[in-house]
Structure 1
Amino acid sequence: MRKGLTVLAMAIVSLGAPSCIELKQPQEQVQTEEFKWVVDTFDDIKVLQYKVPGFENLSLDQKKLIYYLNQAALSGRDIIFDQNFKYNLPIRRTLEAIYTNYRGDRTTAEWKAFEKYLKKVWFANGIHHHYSSDKFTPEFSEAYFDTLVASVPAEKLPHDFGSAEQLTAIIKPVIFDPALYPVRVNQAAGADLLKSSAMNYYDGVSQREAEAFYARMAKPGDPQPISYGLNSQLVKQNGKLTERVWKTDGMYAPALEKIVYWLEKAAEVASPVQKETIEALISFYNTGDLKEYDRFNILWVQDTASMVDFVNGFTEVYGDPLGYKASWEAMVNFKDMDATRRTEIISANAQWFEDHSPIQEKYRKKEVKGVSAKVINAAILGGDCYPATPIGINLPNADWIRKDYGSKSVTIQNITQAYAESSKGNGFIEEFIFRPEDRERITLYGTIGDNMHTDLHECLGHGSGQLAPGVKGDELKQYGSVLEEARADLFSLYYMADPKMEELGLLPDAEVAKAQYASYISNGMMTQLARVELGKDIEQTHMRNRKMISEWAYELGRRENVIEKVVSDGKTYIVVNDFDKLRTLFGKMLREVQRIKSEGDFVAGRDLVERYGVKVDRKLHEEVLERYGKLGIQPYSGFVNPIYTPVMEGGEIVDIIYEYPKSYTEQMLDYSSRYSFLPSVN
């Protein structure tokens, strides 16, 4: 019950934040007696929740900072929906209006199918699968959809297209016609990657036009190249190409204004160093100036002391097949001090790892600068990091900033914990790992190995190596993201088995690397196919990376039987026979991938990805799907967020407490109610 809201409290409520609690007695953090890791399952998805250990021990200003940054993270939710596809917002809002207003029978098969479709749209931030990017196929009929829409009062539906009839005339074919907008991000060789992709980073622009547009903007030899196109939609108006910049007086202004409001509140309680960083981000949002974004990134990467940290901005380019445009994402976090000690050891030895890398000497950094790494606990996930989220992050992405100022890497401990806890006893290892010794290693060392793999991948892999003089970094085009992920993975895999890891006290013994090698190769060649629809190629960046590495290693080591396909009782297994030789192969592959990146060798990069990372053996695929299906495991997981609430006393915030949402549906409807700032058409 709210009582006596202050001006601050009223501002918080009006801007979409949770209500405040008036303090009557000392507050303790509310925790459930038995924590439930899994909160919902549907289709191929499992929704989890994560703990936020250590939040109670933070100072009041640190808690306030997390709260304000949390509000900024949630205020941009509509942006990623619109970036993913231009009709996502009107479709989501129509589905939500139906869900909240329908008074008919909710026990029928078609209603359950409608409900599942809505949950999938929420999870994917749109009507295309978050991983494969294929459009969802409704399991309810058009006629049933018509009856659902007709049951909703007209004033509850989106009005951007006029009447309900005009709305459905536009969105119904988009939902039900499989030929319309079939894939969000198409990477098929030979296609026009823009015209064949549904993502909303371009409008009426061909791939050739976009590439020429940004090629003209580039300045050859610029030691600090601007990431042109990162924060805009490229459109054709009256036959002329122009950018619609994402800023507070441009495209996405209503959401960005709210983000800026909460960032300004965050700056008030931040340290002087972090205040300057946040103000640089605000300047970027207000002006749209990419030089300001570089300034923000330089300040952000140099701030290694702050307990609370965040990601907020137009960051990753995986959603653009050309790699220019960045999706909006956000994450708020704080250090896990105990676990951070291992990443500090890695960071302190960054130069040793660089000096001993198997890549060509001319592509090694003579002086590794500013490598910082930490283990964090996520406090909130937003934008393209929600509900599905990475388990590690390495930023910033600009190569020249990495070279001159370093990079900041994180492993997200409470997210990996949630994945591990929710997967215990699901039968996967017994079904897909052939040898008892491999199963035992993975059971004992799998979590340790996964965390170390992420640490090395993010902390050092992405920040290693350097470009040749004159190479800008975008020459690999649609293959750049795959090859960059492969480069970081190979770096990690190579060093996992190095004696240096035991010498530094990072791993107990070589068995950890063996567990990681066995699970990685099996996943890359086989088990990740559970995430791909039968008959489809692999499209997702990280899946292509893993398949490319595994298949390439299998071929390179075939003569010596380094990796073997074993068939037993009609089931296929992938077995590593020689771990030492596999490590040598990883080193050779890393050398070549680094050369491709350093030299911008598009042809060699394309050939590697297309040869090893794309095509799927249908017979093996059918087998994996059948065996996986019998286990009843959802191949994808994502999260709901904790709910943070200010505790007020005498008009002041005296504490921030959190609780867990009652359900996935409750949180999604709540977010759509309180953080939906953009019009349906932008």
Structure 2
Amino acid sequence: MASPQVYRLEIAHLFNGLSEQEKHYSHHMARCSRFVGRQDHLTTGFPESLPIFDFILALYQSCDGDWSSIVDEGVVTNQDMASFLEYAATFLSNVGNYYGSGDQKFVPRLRMDALEALATRSPRSKVLYAQFKDSIVAIPPFSLGFPGERAQSSYYPGPVAVTKNDAECISRYMDAQHIYPENTRLRKAEDGALEILQASVLLGESELQLGDSLSSPVVKLLKGDHAADLEKVCENLQKANEYAANDTQRRFLAEYIESFRTGNLESYRDSQRTWISDQGPKVENIFGFVEPYRDPYGVRAEFEALVALADPFETKLLTRLVEHSDKFICRLPWAIAENSGKGVFEKTLFEPPDFSSIHSLAYCSSIIVPGINLPNYNDIRQDVGFKNVIIANRMAAESTAATWPFIDSDELPTFRNHKHSAYYWWVVLHELLGHGTGKMMIEQSTGQYNFDPGNPPTNP
């Protein structure tokens, strides 16, 4: 495990410029991320993750954040405490004990007797330690993946290992029943029945009747996965609703709540259509089961929460770029004279997206990305639109890294001077022209295409 670098994300100058209504709105939205953090630990890969998370918080509370007092009491040495804080920082940054990028497991560089000594701080820390004392250092598993000797995943919990074939089988059932996979997990019962665990506040169980009952496995839909944490998320979204800036925000908050309560992702898709129309908000947000990076099958998503404040000056610069986006699209390598100079691989009308430079106030995810293009639903992006955001304070902080091991010492001053601006504009163009352009060629209905199937465009 490499030593982590800890960065300070500056936000006070923007938060202090908000009205009292906007401050209350951002506060309640940010509080949701506290419960989303627990949700992430439950959904993204590893059974020992949640007790480790609670253990770190329990130790923090036991010393009121004064870690040196634990050393002063003689519980552990300075080196022990430094090693523990190194592990805790890496764990919290990755929302678990597997790296968000790469999914490899990391273990603490801490003597186990020192960790056990820390566990004596309170009755609660003792109980939590007992739940992970063996698994925190166990290798294998080495990484996230379908459960087995070398990998594990909480997307597929239970004593009976779920295989890739099981995931493929259940996907066909879910498609037939119009059940989206993003907010689900899959469990295999002792009798071979496949159980779809759907995240929702509401509880319920139903059996899906599909195909030949003699040859098809029993498939059950169990609602209520993560119900307690989602209930708290909904409570804070409801409080935020009281301070929303406009009807559009109140509408997508209501659609968030409806989706999280019922597990219905059609309501969540509706929230994304509404969210897109909330142009240039002072307080931006992203909530929901968004990215499927950590699912070995690539469809089940972790629950993310981002609350951020817009920087008006930086956003104005990005808006000017967006206003001239058609000119840049016509310079892409596949652009030809057709379609007003954009070529056949682009939509006839490019709808300029809302492109904001935002500063993170609260961000809970296994990967803190520098820029985002959302929603992830291609049909909504193509038919309704999308938003681009650049998380500016995250990028600025990263540019202050203590070391750059792959840069020659003679080139380091030049690299430091230009790294942030080069990185910033690379991400800007990645979001605007990478995610934002391109036409998804599909069969919209039987025999109806959005291109000429008899004369399809030539791959450039």
Question: Under TM normalisation by the shorter chain, which class is it?
Answer: 0.7 to 0.9
Matches within 5 A, 1:364-513: 364-369=346-351, 371-381=353-363, 383-384=364-365, 389-420=368-399, 422-423=400-401, 426=402, 428=404, 432-433=407-408, 440=414, 442-470=415-443
Question: Does the CA-based 8 Å contact 2:9-2:394 persist in structure 1?
Answer: yes
2:230 equivalent to 1:256: yes
Which TM-score applies when normalising by structure 1?
0.54
Question: Does the CA-based 8 Å contact 1:355-1:364 persist in structure 2?
Answer: no
TM-fit CA distance, 1:95: 5.3
Deviations 1:291-320, CA, capped at 9 Å, x for gaps: 111100111112114222111111111111
Deviations 1:630-665, CA, capped at 9 Å, x for gaps: xxxxxxxxxxxxxxxxxxxxxxxxxxxxxxxxxxxx
Report what 2:196 is aligned to.
243
CA distance in 2, matches of 1:155, 1:307: 41
2:33 equivalent to 1:73: yes
Deviations 1:339-380, CA, capped at 9 Å, x for gaps: 112221232233443344223744322222352211112222
Deviations 1:566-590, CA, capped at 9 Å, x for gaps: xxxxxxxxxxxxxxxxxxxxxxxxx
Secondary structure of 1:454's partner? Answer: helix
Report what 1:44 is aligned to.
3
CA distance in 2, matches of 1:194, 1:63: 47
TM-fit CA distance, 1:45: 0.9
CA distance in 2, matches of 1:362, 1:466: 8
CA distance in 2, matches of 1:208, 1:278: 37
Matches within 5 A, 1:569-588: none
Report what 1:218 is aligned to.
175
Question: Does the CA-based 8 Å contact 2:31-2:236 persist in structure 1?
Answer: yes
Report what 1:231 is aligned to.
183
CA distance in 1, matches of 2:227, 2:263: 11
Matches within 5 A, 1:258-657: 258-270=232-244, 271-359=246-334, 361-369=343-351, 371-381=353-363, 383-384=364-365, 389-420=368-399, 422-423=400-401, 426=402, 428=404, 432-433=407-408, 440=414, 442-470=415-443
Alignment-mate amino acid for residue 210 of structure 1? A
For residues 346 and 82 of structure 1, do their structure 2 counterparts lie closer, same or farther at Cα, with a shift above 3 Å needed? same
Count of residue pairs the alignment pairs up? 404
Identity of aligned residues (%): 23
For residues 226 and 448 of structure 1, do their structure 2 counterparts lie closer, same or farther at Cα, with a shift above 3 Å needed? farther
CA distance in 1, matches of 2:91, 2:24: 32
> Which one has the bigger helix percentage?
1
Secondary structure of 1:294's partner? Answer: helix
CA distance in 1, matches of 2:148, 2:322: 39
CA distance in 2, matches of 1:153, 1:416: 39
Deviations 1:136-157, CA, capped at 9 Å, x for gaps: 23333445545554x3554554
Report what 1:88 is aligned to.
49
CA distance in 1, matches of 2:99, 2:39: 17
Report what 1:617 is aligned to.
none
Matches within 5 A, 1:58-69: 58-69=18-29
For residues 49 and 243 of structure 1, do their structure 2 counterparts lie closer, same or farther at Cα, with a shift above 3 Å needed? same
Report what 1:120 is aligned to.
90
CA distance in 2, matches of 1:44, 1:217: 43
Question: Does the CA-based 8 Å contact 1:317-1:327 persist in structure 2?
Answer: yes
Report what 1:138 is aligned to.
108
Report what 1:205 is aligned to.
162
For residues 47 and 296 of structure 1, do their structure 2 counterparts lie closer, same or farther at Cα, with a shift above 3 Å needed? same
For residues 47 and 470 of structure 1, do their structure 2 counterparts lie closer, same or farther at Cα, with a shift above 3 Å needed? same
For residues 252 and 346 of structure 1, do their structure 2 counterparts lie closer, same or farther at Cα, with a shift above 3 Å needed? same
Report what 1:643 is aligned to.
none
CA distance in 2, matches of 1:182, 1:296: 38
Secondary structure of 1:343's partner? Answer: helix
Question: Does the CA-based 8 Å contact 2:273-2:384 persist in structure 1?
Answer: yes
Question: Does the CA-based 8 Å contact 2:4-2:89 persist in structure 1?
Answer: no
CA distance in 2, matches of 1:427, 1:370: 38
CA distance in 2, matches of 1:293, 1:342: 31
RMSD (CA atoms): 3.2
Deviations 1:74-117, CA, capped at 9 Å, x for gaps: 23221112223122112333455567387643226445434433
Question: Does the CA-based 8 Å contact 1:227-1:398 persist in structure 2?
Answer: no
Secondary structure of 1:135's partner? Answer: coil
CA distance in 2, matches of 1:142, 1:65: 44
Question: Does the CA-based 8 Å contact 1:370-1:405 persist in structure 2?
Answer: no
Which TM-score applies when normalising by structure 2?
0.78
Where structure 1 has 5 or more consecutive residues not aligned to the other structure, the ranges are 1-41, 160-166, 187-191, 220-224, 473-593, 597-682
Question: Does the CA-based 8 Å contact 1:234-1:243 persist in structure 2?
Answer: yes
Secondary structure of 1:331's partner? Answer: strand
Alignment-mate amino acid for residue 402 of structure 1? R
CA distance in 2, matches of 1:399, 1:43: 37
CA distance in 2, matches of 1:234, 1:109: 42
CA distance in 2, matches of 1:257, 1:357: 47
Question: Does the CA-based 8 Å contact 2:30-2:362 persist in structure 1?
Answer: yes
TM-fit CA distance, 1:258: 1.2
Report what 2:139 is aligned to.
178
Report what 1:163 is aligned to.
none
Alignment-mate amino acid for residue 187 of structure 2? V
CA distance in 2, matches of 1:376, 1:459: 15
CA distance in 1, matches of 2:21, 2:36: 23
Report what 2:207 is aligned to.
none
CA distance in 2, matches of 1:199, 1:137: 17
For residues 240 and 439 of structure 1, do their structure 2 counterparts lie closer, same or farther at Cα, with a shift above 3 Å needed? same
Secondary structure of 2:90's partner? Answer: helix
CA distance in 2, matches of 1:232, 1:130: 20
Deviations 1:13-42, CA, capped at 9 Å, x for gaps: xxxxxxxxxxxxxxxxxxxxxxxxxxxxx9
For residues 350 and 121 of structure 1, do their structure 2 counterparts lie closer, same or farther at Cα, with a shift above 3 Å needed? same
For residues 215 and 310 of structure 1, do their structure 2 counterparts lie closer, same or farther at Cα, with a shift above 3 Å needed? same
Question: Does the CA-based 8 Å contact 2:48-2:136 persist in structure 1?
Answer: no
Alignment-mate amino acid for residue 265 of structure 2? L
Deviations 1:382-410, CA, capped at 9 Å, x for gaps: x216xx62211111011101100111001
Secondary structure of 2:16's partner? Answer: helix
Secondary structure of 1:409's partner? Answer: strand
Of structures 1 and 2, the one scoring higher in RCO (CA 8 A, sep 6+) is 1
